[in-house]
Chain A
């Protein structure tokens, strides 16, 4: 289990989020909702330990990571804890297939059956041998997702990875997320697609003004307790 306690983050005196505590349990999908600029991406960066918190600590399977000298007290476990970034970070000097396979080869993994399975499942065969600049943003998002999934992480953080996908692909990603959670992977994702959040989430967190304002099972999307979450949801629905 990943347990974050009292996480706070500020940039140059400006508070991004404060005193955030949450748990990511094996086999659960947690969805983090919130308006743009509410600190979702920064929180994911801190949880993935690619960014350091201003204060607080993270416990991963009994290993404690605290803030020390503007860094984390120990090296993050990779790729057990990984994140698909909003900017994706696909390496432009490699084809999409090489992007997926290279990290596996670097770890000495020769069995590529999961790669082939996902390429087939996510209908990637028509573009997987192209370079990132030769495919759409949606196809890049799928590739980035696959690149991290084949590493078999225990904790998978996903930042807006469905923002450029059509309904069909969102559905395929959703299916794979269910498979992953079924195998015990703890998933935390951010999205602006309320339908996707409702279908995927075991738990929902609503971040606003640097604090978790509401949390609960996916049913809270249909019956929010806080006025702020309710108004956020109704604005998102109206925008669609």
Chain B
């Protein structure tokens, strides 16, 4: 494994950069647009809330790969355009991430325990103070674990981009394997890469979930 890594260091590094770049775009779009959309959906339940819920249900039913392929072939064919596969992958995965994050935000904000807000009002706190000192910290703690899980799934979903010819880490690994045929070593290396990234994120998500969700349920 070490020898393969030494011999193909540059290619792996290029693949990793594409994976990180793709994940970065998908995460940034999903987190920023998704949270804003989720807040809008919680505020205007018909105008934004219903579409978010419907899209979330539909996207949960359609595999990410099918969604990406749909963006790559039929969508571009029907508009008679050709889009760079990287942009196609980034767009389709970003849409999925936006909807998942928006739906998660909607659930958390929609189920926010009203008694905390009421207690703030009864204590004479201003609305700004209630949002800043009570609403935001509590909502963030409820949002974070689920949000991290979604981002881990999105990172893993970037592998699908290899199927529409994006040179990310999985496609690079496939190419190297076709040259030297060492599948056990190459795909183990790929697994190690994902373990190094996803395990700490998963542990962080579990920690946040046990640390904060339990607190909220008892008080």
Q: Which residues of B contact A225 (CB under 8 A)?
A: none
Q: Who on chain B is nearest to A78 by CB?
A: B124
| A78 CB to nearest chain B CB (Å) | 4
Contact A93–B137 (Cβ < 8 Å): yes
Taking a contact as CB atoms under 8 Å apart, the answer to whether A87 and B115 are in contact is yes
- Do A85 and B119 contact each other (CB < 8 Å), given the known contacts A93-B134, A102-B133, A106-B129? yes
Nearest chain A CB to B106 CB, angstrom units: 21
Min C-beta distance of B120 to chain A, whole Å: 8
Beta-carbon contact of B122 and A148 below 8 Å: yes
- Contacts A85-B115, A89-B115, A93-B141; A50 near B122 (Cβ below 8 A): yes
B138 at interface by CB-CB < 8 Å: yes
Main DSSP-derived SS at the B contact region: helix
Q: Which residues of B contact A217 (CB under 8 A)?
A: none
Minimum Cβ distance to chain A for residue B5 (Å): 45
Closest to A131 in B: B215
Name B118's closest neighbour in chain A (CB-CB): A50
Number of interface residues of A (CB under 8 A): 26
B115 engages A147 (CB within 8 Å): no
Question: In the complex, A172 Cα to B218 Cα: how many Å?
Answer: 25
User: Please, which residue of chain A has its CB at the minimum distance from the CB of B212?
Assistant: A92
B123 at the interface (CB under 8 A from A): yes
Contact between A85 and B118, CB atoms less than 8 A apart: yes
CB distance from A235 to the nearest CB of B (A): 30
Contact B214 A133 (CB under 8 A): yes
Complex formed: what's the CA distance from A151 to B121 in Å? Answer: 13
* B13 interface residue per 8 A CB criterion: no
- Is the CB–CB distance between B216 and A92 below 8 Å? yes
Give the residues in chain A near B115, CB-CB below 8 Å: 85, 87-89
For the complex, give the distance between the alpha carbons of A148 and B118 in Å. 13
A93:B122 contact, CB within 8 angstroms: no
Chain B residue numbers with a CB within 8 Å of A133 are 214-215, 218-219
CB B144 to nearest CB in A, in angstroms, measures 13
A-B contact pairs, 16 of them (CB 8 A): A50-B121, A89-B115, A89-B118, A90-B119, A90-B219, A91-B120, A91-B134, A92-B218, A93-B134, A93-B138, A106-B124, A106-B126, A106-B133, A131-B219, A132-B218, A144-B119
Residue positions of A touching B, CB distance < 8 A: 48, 50, 78-79, 82-83, 85, 87-93, 102-103, 106-107, 131-133, 140, 144, 147-148, 151
**Besides A50-B118, A82-B122, 18 new A-B residue pairs in contact (Cβ under 8 A), listed by A number:** A79-B124, A82-B124, A85-B122, A88-B119, A89-B119, A90-B119, A90-B219, A91-B116, A91-B133, A91-B134, A93-B138, A103-B120, A103-B123, A106-B125, A131-B215, A132-B218, A133-B218, A148-B123
